[in-house]
Amino acid sequence: MKDIQIERIESFIVDLPTIRPHHLSMAVMRNQTMVIVRLFCSDGIEGIGEATTIGGLSYGDESPEGMKLTLDTYMAPLLQGKSALSVNAIMALLDSHIKGNNFVKSAIETALLDAQGKRLGVSVATLLGGAVTDTLPVLWTLASGDTEQDIAEAHALLKEGRHYTFKLKIGRNDWKTDVRHVSAIKEAVGPEVKVTVDVNQAWSESIAKQGIALLQEAGIDLIEQPIIKTNFDGLARLTRYFTVPIMADEAAGTVSDAFKLAKIGGGSVFALKIAKAGGLTNIQRQAAIAQAAGISLYGGTMLEGTVGTVASAQVFSTLPHLEWGTELFGPLLLTEDIVKTRLTYQNGVLQLPQGPGLGIELDMNQVNKFKRK
């Protein structure tokens, strides 16, 4: 194939309202902010990608505004004129010139893969070795901040058949109040419905020991990132101590984090996220480490909009053992979208879009409506 260059990379910030406030231990979200990347190639093909975080700088160390600056000031000039045909070469170049900034790197890799898929007429999943499924189980996160409202939301979604598993966000309140909140919801939805809990690092190890004991007793199925992400040994101790599976989320950021955790048994499940990992190909590397260590997998989200959600879905669909399903519900938390066709969620699963690349298209009218001026 004749060489094709990256001609130009554009980025913009989009702010989309959420359907209700979303309460996490570190922030309450009333809208979601995403950085969208458009990568234009010399053959006229355009690839798109998304870099999204949660609550400004309260979740990770990259903010939307900082990500846009990194893209425009450092990445776009570095990549301009380079061959768009080898995604691996571009990602290696980025890694050698720019430390960290994984969320933005993930957006660039997504856009390159989208463009390459469109060029070759195949999906991103096909470029990554092929999908093993075209549907992914998707849970819903109950995080309205109110126990009764969460219960009503769960019942409505069960009745509608949209989700059959729920994740609860805790860690904002005193731990005993949080445990009561979780137990009340678990009791209301019944033993057949899976309920998981995400503490988002809010507990000390000693509180975690008390809190998880009660959650385990209440029949909770999975405990996500109970303690600070840097305490790998603590996570390993909790994993050994409890029967209920412990999932590493914030701790399992990069490929090397996954390796270090796997070596010491820090978590029996890893939450995979393209943003933390710095792209889709790194997800496959993390998954290989987990598989070798007997650690189960879960398809995580940074509450991305449709572009980032589909990028995640494309790579998750290539993993043969995604035992804990996914939480790719980000677009459902938003009142509006910026793509032409919204994703299909029904019977507890997300349908992987068909078509070359990501299989989605930006709706520029919507983009212009929500783009930050």
Q: Which residues are catalytic?
A: 169
Q: Does 301 bind ligand MUC (CB under 6 A)?
A: yes
Q: By Cβ distance, which residue is nearest to ligand MUC?
A: 141
304-343: which residues touch ligand MUC (CB under 6 A)? 327
**Closest separation between CB of residue 54 and ligand MUC, Å?**
6
Residue the block writes with tokens 């996220």: 273
Q: Is 114 in the site for ligand MUC (CB under 6 A)?
A: no
Q: Is 300 in the site for ligand MUC (CB under 6 A)?
A: yes
Stretch that binds Mg ion, among 106-114, 208-216, 217-225, 361-369 (CB under 5 A): 217-225
When the beta carbons of 9 and 275 are compared against ligand MUC, the nearer one is 275
- Cβ-based neighbour number of residue 29 at 10 Å: 20
* Amino acid, res. 74: Y
Given the complex with ligand MUC, which of 111 and 143 has the nearer CB atom?
A: 143
Token reading at 208: 């975690």
Q: Which does 276 bind (CB under 5 to 8 A by kind): Mg ion, ligand MUC, none?
A: none
Cβ nearer to ligand MUC, comparing 52 with 314: 52
Q: Which is nearer to ligand MUC, 46 or 150 (CB)?
A: 150
Q: Binding residue for Mg ion (CB under 5 A) from 46, 178, 198, 257?
A: 198
Q: How far is CA 42 from the centre of its chain?
A: 31
Pairing of strands 28-41, 46-52: antiparallel
What DSSP string describes 70-110?
HIIIIIHHHHTTSBSS-HHHHHHHHHHHS-S-HHHHHHHHH
CA angle 221, 20, 137 (to 5 degrees): 40
Residues 236-295 that bind ligand MUC (CB under 6 A): 249
Inter-axis angle of helices 102-120 and 280-293, nearest 10: 110
> Interface with ligand MUC by CB under 6 A: which range of 83-91, 111-119, 208-216, 300-308?
300-308
Give the chain's end-to-end CA distance (angstroms, integer).
40
Amino acid 227 reads I
Choice between 24 and 290, CB closer to ligand MUC: 24
Burial of 92 (0-12, 13-18, 19+ CB in 10 A): exposed
| 22: its two tokens | 């979303």
**Contact between 138 and ligand MUC (CB under 6 A)?**
no
Q: Which of 248, 319, 309 is nearest to 281 (CA)?
A: 319
Contact flags string 227-266 toward Mg ion, x per CB under 5 A: ----------------------x-----------------
Could you say whether residue 62 binds ligand MUC (CB under 6 A)?
no
Residue from the set 63, 196, 200, 306 that interacts with ligand MUC by CB under 6 A:
200
Using CB under 6 A as the binding rule, the residues of this chain from 87 to 106 that contact ligand MUC are none
If the CB atoms of residues 327 and 337 are measured against ligand MUC, the closer one turns out to be: 327
The distance of closest approach from Cβ of residue 153 to ligand MUC in the complex, given in angstroms and rounded to an integer, is: 13
315 binds, among Mg ion, ligand MUC, none (CB under 5 to 8 A by kind): none
> Is 198 one of the binding residues for ligand MUC (CB under 6 A)?
yes
Distance CA(24)–CA(239), nearest Å, equals 23
Residue 331 sits at the vertex; the CA angle it makes with 327 and 332, to the nearest 5 degrees, is 80
Residues composing the chain: 373
Q: Residue 9 or 143: which CB sits closer to ligand MUC?
A: 143
Closest CA to 195 of 159, 221, 218: 221
- Residue 27 CB, shortest distance to ligand MUC, in Å, is 10
DSSP bridge pairs for 11? 37
What does the DSSP assignment read for 339-366?
Answer: BSSPPPEETTEEEPPPSSBTS--B-HHH
Q: How far is the CB of 141 from ligand MUC (least distance, A)?
A: 4
> Which residues is 5 bridged to in the sheet?
83
Q: Which residues bind ligand MUC (CB under 6 A)?
A: 24, 54, 141, 143, 169, 198, 200, 249, 300-301, 303, 327
Q: Which residues bind Mg ion (CB under 5 A)?
A: 198, 224, 249
